[in-house]
Amino acid sequence: MREYIILTDSCCDFSARMVAELGVEVLPLSFHIGGGDYFNYPDNRDMAPGDFYARLRSGELGSTAAVSPGVFQETMGRLVEEGKDILCINFSSALSTTYQSATIAAEDVMAAHPGSKILVVDSRCASLGQGLLVYLAARKKGEGLGLEELRDYVENTKLHICHWFTVDDLNHLKRGGRVSAAAALVGTMLQMKPVLHVDDEGRLIPVSKVRGRKASLKALVDKMEELVVDPSVVFISHGDCGDEARELGEAIKAKFPVERLEINYVGPVIGNHSGPGTMALFFQGRHR
């Protein structure tokens, strides 16, 4: 059996430590803010997350860009020349063209390297939801699953990766077209906090609104209680509100038999649209 590697993109919001632990490759998406262009590397070499969120809070507006087919082609070509096949797990196609870029590149690289195999999966996940799917895949790879077997496992698992999140500032969702200007204004005045999830198509969907931050965080825990099937691994990502994320983690550990809890920033690519104060909870559930 040929050796293979898991390739993903930086919207998995892995830390550099997680990348090293799992032995995966991560290609960075890019973002533009304040007249500068930056890459979203897991080690944050271009910009620290705290600095990015400080700039958002000061009123700067950013934009983002997917990984291009050329970048995928270069990395995939290098890996197959090293004798490796590839399982490529990408950011939701409903939110980015990164998956399409990977598919185009995979076809070109396999055509240029007969005998190589590159399988591309649309995770329909985002942030550490994508990260959780890649983590579970890496763990199964370590158990000896072959390339096709692992692809099938990922396809069968991805719609059981629950994404539940809330945001602190409705204006970022307004800019992204997720809520109307009127809803953002009224919601801000009434301290209404939306609770959203990522659906089976990989889209961000508002589900409900609650009054106040504490109630919105409790709603995430309530959703986990309603849907969870395997609470052993739980990931949390946040928009520069680490203390609250750790409090949420402790509340979850007090309620469920969690064996591994990972907390990291929502990276700048997704964070540009969700804003400071975002809190996202990811776990394995009966359905999304």
Structure token digits, residue 202: 């990989």
**What's the pTM?**
0.94
- Nearest in space to 9 (alpha carbons), one of 274, 211, 269: 269
Q: Which regions of the chain carry the CATH code 3.40.50.10170?
A: 4-158
Give residue 273's pLDDT: 87
Write phi, then psi, for 41 (nearest 5 degrees). -80, 145
Q: Provide the pLDDT confidence category of residue 25 given band limits of 50, 70 and 90.
A: very high
pLDDT digits (tens, 9 = 90+) for 28-38: 999 999 999 99
* Residues 99, 92 contacting (CB under 8 angstroms): yes
Task: Provide the residue type at 76 as one letter.
Answer: M
Give the rounded percent of residues in the chain with a pLDDT score beyond 90.
Answer: 84
Q: Which regions of the chain carry the CATH code 3.30.1180.10?
A: 160-285
CATH of 4-158, one of 2.40.110.10, 3.40.50.10170, 3.40.50.970, 1.10.3720.10: 3.40.50.10170
Report how far residue 223's alpha carbon sits from residue 127's, in angstroms, rounded to the nearest whole number: 18
The DSSP string of 248-271 is: HHHHHHHHS--SEEEEEEPPHHHH
Give residue 251's pLDDT: 96
More confident residue, 182 or 41: 41
How high is the mean pLDDT of the chain? 93
Report how far residue 61's alpha carbon sits from residue 82's, in angstroms, rounded to the nearest whole number: 41
pLDDT digits (tens, 9 = 90+) for 221-237: 999 999 999 999 999 99
CATH 3.30.1180.10 fits 160-285, yes or no: yes
For the ranges 97-106, 133-142, 208-217, 246-255, the lowest mean pLDDT is seen at 208-217
Report how far residue 113's alpha carbon sits from residue 73's, in angstroms, rounded to the nearest whole number: 12
Give residue 168's pLDDT: 82
Neighbours of 237 (CB within 10 A): 27
Neighbours of 262 (CB within 10 A): 20
The sheet carrying 36-39 orders its strands as 36-39, 30-33, 62-65
| Signed CA dihedral, 122, 128, 131, 135: sign only | negative
Structure token digits, residue 18: 């997680």
Give residue 170's pLDDT: 63
Q: Provide the pLDDT confidence category of residue 179 given band limits of 50, 70 and 90.
A: low
